[in-house]
Structure 1
């Protein structure tokens, strides 16, 4: 009797396997290939590769880590800051692998897992563009597979890269970044600041005017009333470990040199203070996705406008998201991002 029951179950399972669709079989095969490290030069390190970067001040190494295999969909992730780390993107692990999208974590020079030379002259936008190009070449990315994703400062970097090297790109993704620092500051001053309680804004501006940016009270006010509403709309005690690690690992030499000392905009002698490429966006011809969020520090209407200025754009709006919408609006962020990558890959964009 047991044997009859065993063979009956086995037969049912066999029929179920026989009836599986070709697409589901293909998915299984793709997933097996996706996780296969066989004969890869990064197998020993589990996908991690230190890439030597030539700079005017010598050769340094930057950290990258590959997730998955896909010959036609490879995404290089440019983190924000400047001076933060790839850890801001660790939520991607929950969404991209099941779509068989290959992607690369990457700590830019000066960031936590890469070399951190003590030379402020290296924190220069044009030099970072050349760094990205060297990373692209080292990873074997090219116009038939290379998607460049940049968020916040990474969005500045990917726009600047595309204006020089777009012939190497298959798809461009500009996330949570406008095309003008002046416009960002205007939005911050005229739209976001007035949303703060008047007494809070008044106290913040006292510290701002005195340039007392390291004052604990100033930082507490910014975190409580600004970060929790416009950076990541999750109670701070519930912030993901990956976000906390990235904040703990920030390189303030890079951050202050390029972004400035204020947590309330780009100020002081920051090298990015005058950055503006609005009048150059029309030169970008590659398929481009811009991502904006309702509660972002960046104006979502400006992000939508960028998608109409480039020659082949699409806009993704995250109605519940803020600056880190890959965490606080995953419901809209990841389906829209994945659809863009697959649409470009399939020719449906």
Structure 2
């Protein structure tokens, strides 16, 4: 009980330092029947109306962090690790399953898997949740980083802070890094087998994933031992919408072959004036030097380097990732444009 009390006191002190009391942070301010923060948002699309799932954790009028999951086609669930860090700092979390993902509607129509349409979806979610430039922080991880940057290119006036986590801002550069750097780290015999399967388009071959899991995923996606991968990660990836993933990314994580194959925003990064944090991991599928360059090209950039991190740096370099994310958000909240991480 002594340790519990000490922990509670520490939590209270930290939250109060954020400018909001624990009672206010955890108070449910919604009207009507309480849903634990869940709100289904109706979105208008060229194919009609659909519903996407959101869930708010905490209540801070000044700091609201909307999370864009990766994949494409995974779910919000792998972000659940943030609940162990951000609420104690008074940061409001907003989970969101994009259309076709997790708890949201799935129209099962590949014409709907379009980057411009997803940008408008994010904007409709923002409006429904009443987020604005006084409080709206947008974090996109992996594919979500592409979506976050594309959103910022059109709607940065709605943002208070932007976080691009583990995603290069040029898919051609990403493909080049996979071929020129990551592929060379494979055992040549293993790589030859992988390339042979890909050349045949035999992605359903069980040997393909048997080769990728120990030689690629365990080294570059999440460096925690495969048999100990965090349950939220397994749960999220286990629900991956394959149609969405293959349409946008292509059939392999090892390179890109879908609709995103030519996406490149490097030349447009200087247009981004909103405070921006770029996050890179040493062992990531994304070049950490490229991620640092992103922070230098935007007008008000900060860079968070995770020396032990891979693509899921929020898990395999968790303390560094979370401390840097919190420092950035709190720095921007206090008026800093460039936060030294």
Report the TM-score range of the alignment, normalised by the length of the smaller protein: over 0.9
Matched, 1:288 2:288: no
Unpaired runs of 5+ residues, structure 1, are 1-19
Where does structure 2 lack aligned partners over 5 or more consecutive residues? 1-9
* DSSP-derived class of the 1:202 partner: helix
**Residues 159-308 of structure 1: pairs in structure 2 closer than 5 A:** 159-267=149-257, 270-308=258-296
Root-mean-square deviation (CA), in Å? 1.7
Deviations along 1:186-230, one digit per CA (max 9) or x if unpaired, are: 000000011011111111111111111111001110111100000
Q: Give the secondary structure class of the aligned counterpart of 1:227.
A: helix
Q: 2:43 matched to which residue of 1? A: 53
The number of residues matched between the two structures is: 326
- Equivalent residue for 2:21? 30
Indicate conservation of the 8 Å contact 2:163/2:278, yes or no. yes
> For the residues of structure 2 that align with 1:316 and 1:32, how far apart are their CA atoms?
32
Deviation for aligned residue 1:262: 2.0
> For residues 24 and 48 of structure 1, do their structure 2 counterparts lie closer, same or farther at Cα, with a shift above 3 Å needed?
closer
* Counterpart position of 1:119: 109
- Residue aligning to 1:93: 83
State the Cα distance separating 1:53 from its structure 2 match: 0.6
SS of the residue aligned with 2:134?
Answer: coil
Distance 1:111 1:322 in 2: 23
Which aligned runs of 4 or more in structure 1 are off by greater than 2 angstroms? 22-29
Corresponding residue for 2:64? 74
Distance 1:228 1:43, change over 3 A: farther
Cα distance, 1:41 vs. partner? 3.5
CA contact (8 A) 1:42 1:49 kept: no
- TM-score relative to the length of structure 1: 0.91
1:263 positional shift: 3.0
Q: Distance in 2 between matches of 1:247 and 1:280?
A: 31
| TM-score after normalising by structure 2 | 0.93
Distance in 2, matches of 1:216 and 1:23, equals 51
> Which has the larger displacement, 121-130 or 240-249?
240-249
Distance change in 2, residues 1:25/1:89 (3 Å): closer
Larger Rg: 1
Equivalent-residue separation in structure 2 for 1:277 and 1:141 (angstroms)? 25
1:147 to 2:137 alignment = yes
